[in-house]
Structure 1
Amino acid sequence: MNRAWSLLTIDESERQFAGNLGYTDVLGSRYAWDSTVPNHRAVQPGDLAVLRNGSHVLGVGWIDDVQTETATKVRRRCPSCGNTAFKTRKQLTPRYKCSPCQNLFDEPSQEQINATVYMCDYARTWRPTTDVRVTNVASAYLNRSAQQSIRPLDPELITRLLGQAYDPSLRWWVEATDPQLPAGHRPRLGHVRIGQAQFRQVLRQRFGDRCLITGPQPAQAIEAAHLYRYCDTPKHDIAGGVLLRRDLHSLFDGFLLAIDPSDWVVRLSPSLDPFPDLAQLGERHLAIPPQVRPREEYLVAHLRWATDLWKPKNDKRDAG
């Protein structure tokens, strides 16, 4: 996979060294830096951008584009030793203190330098993260230069550490030229479910063209879902089938969505929280007439399996 970078973005009020003026970052959209920054040429389209502040990882996105322009940058220095490593003293005067020479002063000296400004765009695939501290991903750094605003990350390790906070499938556009994809047809042997069309028709007669969770849908959008593993029990049990919208059927089969028959409420995997259209389905009460409710034991078994998969790995280890 391509490279991954930790990109520091902070407010001016939080900037540690007052000699470094900030760039025009827009969190969730773009990140800017200049040619005075280590690794300034290394960040490329297709790389993973991991945005952070001083304490937390803020989100991730794949970089679509990197633009450059020439600009004049103002650099501020200690008037005594010329170093840029001086800090603001918010409650004391003089306002600044130079870390290397300990000089106190109110007005830094300034110089103008020509610099190349870089700006990367990651807006299209941006996904914010929640409650991920920088210390949680510290093992993924490939150097010990904590002061660098652009730090390389181990791409495989950072993706494992972030878990569900990003979607690796969003790298599909990385190729600069259209890939040559194989096409045509080939014969394939496989199992075909006998009676599947009739099973769906019976369920449509039973429920109408209604998704169990979202209600009325176009007939083309709903599928007949088995609530049990058909491959293990290849029989069509009408009491073990419902109609689900196609995307929800996939989530149900993937144990990301379940139905709790104790109160007929939709339960969702925490991994669906970043998707508002799906997250709003969580805890939804289903009004199903008692005479057409599916067999509860199927749903209980599915829910038990799903919720076990939703548990953090540490919880599973403790339970074992």
Structure 2
Amino acid sequence: MTAWLMYLGESAKRVGQGYDDHPSSHYSWDDKVPNRERIQVGDTIVLWNGKALLGLSVIEDIAVGAGKKTITRCPKCGTAGPGRRKKDPLPFRCWNKPCKHAFADPVIEIVDVKTYRSRHEAGWVDLRGHVSGTELRALCVKTKSQNAVRELRWDEFRSRVETGKNATSLKIVEKARSVITHGFSERMARVRKGQAAFRASLLDHFGEVCAFTGPMPAAVLDAAHLYSYADQAKHHESGGLLLRKDVHRLFDLGEIAIDPKTLTLDVAPNTRAFPAYDTLHGQAVAVSLDKKHQEWIAEHWNMHRAPSQAFIPGQSAGAQVAVDV
């Protein structure tokens, strides 16, 4: 497994060329980009905007195609990708040190390229702003690289995310990689299908109620899986709850979990630093749960809490919430 830091900023990855990218689902590059053919299914893709981390996932599939690319060149030495200047009288300057030519208009060339497009939606973890751009550069194999795609020192990056400021577990990423590398990438892709029907069934069952915060408008409620959807082939009955969008994200990351012994909310210490979430700690789940719900909840708890707190399904839950049997 290799981890890649990939640039996805407001400006194009190369002067004169934009790409069809979406951070949580797909990323595109071509055969003019360094490292293009080293990227493999099962690799970790870490996206940033040049200033801070956006998030990460595992590549499920890479579609290969053909296309056209517009390349800008220095009119003096022919070096590709001259840099734009905001304050100087001439808008372009060649970045090639022996040249450094400043000019008004680059030479435009349209070339045929081999295109690549990753799909990585199933394991996406949103970590917007968790790690600074300066830190990310320092965690690259080549710390002074200016490439849009750079190899990342995964073990050090993971340690930074899981133990530093805004510490967040990346177990869900490891789970997604395990599923993909064992030949189930197609199965992962199918899990997203039927999401709308899954949400509709949860609304029918629970009504417009967030399981953590109580009644909410339907527009802010997500269909949250109680299990890792990367490891399942369908939307399981009693396998989901309706959660407000922000607490859904925190639940996926393990920052909020449901104690399977008491069916009360357990909020991680760093998230409890925010009053809005601190008030949730110790609160009973706001909806009735059946035995299958409790089994999925126990799996989520065992994934995101210390092994010493592991819960064996079948143990009795507390009486703080009504349970359908």
Large movers: runs of 4+ above 4 Å: 279-282, 285-288
Distance 1:144 1:138, change over 3 A: closer
In the TM superposition, 1:169-318 aligns within 5 A as 169-177=175-183, 248-250=258-260, 258=266, 267-270=267-270, 282-284=278-280
2:149 match: 150
Query: Structure 1 78/281 Cα, relative in aligned 2: closer, same or farther at 3 Å?
Result: closer
Q: How many residues align?
A: 207
Deviation at 1:6, TM superposition (A): 0.7
Give, in angstroms, the shift of residue 26 of structure 1: 1.3
Shift of residue 53, structure 1, vs aligned partner: 1.9
1:134–1:82 distance in 2 versus 1, CA, 3 Å: same
Q: What amino acid is aligned across from residue 155 of structure 2 in structure 1?
A: E
Assess if the C-alpha contact under 8 Å between 2:52 and 2:131 holds in 1.
yes
Matched to 1:109, the amino acid is V
Question: Hey, what's the Cα distance between the residues in 1 that align with 2:46 and 2:261?
Answer: 28
Counterpart residue type for residue 156 of structure 2: L
C-alpha offsets along residues 197-252 of structure 1, whole Å, 9 cap, x if unaligned?
A: xxxxxxxxxxxxxxxx889xxxxx9xxxxxxxxxxxxxxxxxxxxxxxxx622497
**TM-score between both structures, scaled by the size of structure 2:** 0.54
TM-score, length basis structure 1? 0.55
Deviation (angstroms), 1:109: 0.9
For the residues of structure 1 that align with 2:53 and 2:175, how far apart are their CA atoms? 21
Task: Look up the match of 2:67.
Answer: 71
SS in 2 for 1:175: helix
State the partner residue of 2:43. Answer: 47
Paired position in structure 1 for 2:89? 93
Greater mean deviation of Cα atoms: 75-84 or 138-147:
138-147
Q: CA deviation at 1:67?
A: 0.7
Which structure 1 residue ranges, 5 or more long, are not aligned?
A: 179-212, 216-220, 222-246, 259-266, 274-278, 289-305, 307-320
Task: Tell me the percent identity.
Answer: 23
Shift of 1:70: 0.9
Instruction: Find the aligned partners of 1:214 and 1:99 in 2 and give their Cα distance.
Output: 54
Alignment of 1:53-132 (within 5 A): 53-100=49-96, 101-129=99-127, 130-132=129-131
Q: Which residue of 1 aligns with 2:30?
A: 34
Amino acid at match of 1:47: D
Amino acid in the other structure paired with 2:259: H
Pairwise CA RMSD? 3.6
Asked if structure 2 preserves the Cα contact closer than 8 Å seen for 1:128 and 1:165, the reply is no
